[in-house]
Chain A
């Protein structure tokens, strides 16, 4: 049912989404924590920057990433001087772009979860001799578990669904940057509607199931 090229595209998409989600949970947690707890005047600025991908056309984000990561961009020159070459049109470049593109979908649910927990449980933990790190891992993480699940699902699903940024920064290289959404585009361009149907139908089903899972567990606490 799935051609070899389609299997490769699906596999690449899952790999990209998984790596992106893991990186985002690691990078996004401290950002979300800072946004939830700070009184700094920079809170608004950082919050707005994180949320930019929600409103920007993917082509704008892709264009600037291309400029910055490209051979003449600041990051591009850095990666070249380190002997890594340039990131655009590689899988690594796609990961970097996806991290930026899906950032708000991970940071915002985490930030909301941290804000809902508030400062009190941390104060309680401190009066029970827990250091701030200790309290974070033993109190905040368990209490924020629903937020982490939501963030993971949204980050993963949103990365699977990206198209514009991939085209801008990754191009269309089989097994490197040709993800499912791009593959569908190729099939349609080539009038291979049967092939396109298989992938498009799969995406539709996947997206629906993800959202169904998300909305069905809204309002239920996971620690009970």
Chain B
């Protein structure tokens, strides 16, 4: 590439094409295009992407199914209401905080229950909780007597349930759009700040149509931002929304709740058959545990799963 022609230009009369070729070569040499070509790496020598470091979710059955949660990757946990997905997320966060890692929970729907997290063994001082919500004036609980938040001065400042429609009419935007916008901005900031062991995005209560409106470019950006960092990025949702940007997709379903050792489905069928004649006293019945079924729907990681589904149990905080 250094010499655009073979013969010496002095020995033969130059044609116009030769002149142009020489001029072009000179210009390219000046701008440095020719040396750059020499630095091109053949595709056969491209580096193989290293396998990500895996951390335990704290649930052995889930770890044996997925190999754990991947650092530097985006993992989706999806499931319907009462499927046990939040229990899995909180337990993974709790184990990470126990390992001494700093974690963040971006709560799009302001649904996080600190008491449940404490029961799961969360070290609260290591968890950064970001509550997305409208900056509407402070709104008290409909019945301040019900909870203590009003007393702490940190009462329900999120959007009151009746306000979304009013907000839509008055301000011209929907509640979820604004909250998801906040969530995306906050996640960007957290990923840029580095040093978090686990960042969880809770979209569990966001309606599927709203969640699907998050542009794929955002998920792609998150995936690129979290890559090569020690952060495990988890997304909790009702249905998969990140597409191919997620490295792993775990579907949580098949809940079988147990009441005093019996399956709730059995109890409920018994109750639904003859509701007024409930044999046991209602306060004697306690929700003991959930049986959660996790299914590995997709994984881009090297590991080949030996099984595609696993079951495990989550106990109630009061069950001891």
Q: Is B one of A's binding partners?
A: no
**B residues whose Cβ falls under 8 Å from a Cβ of A:** none
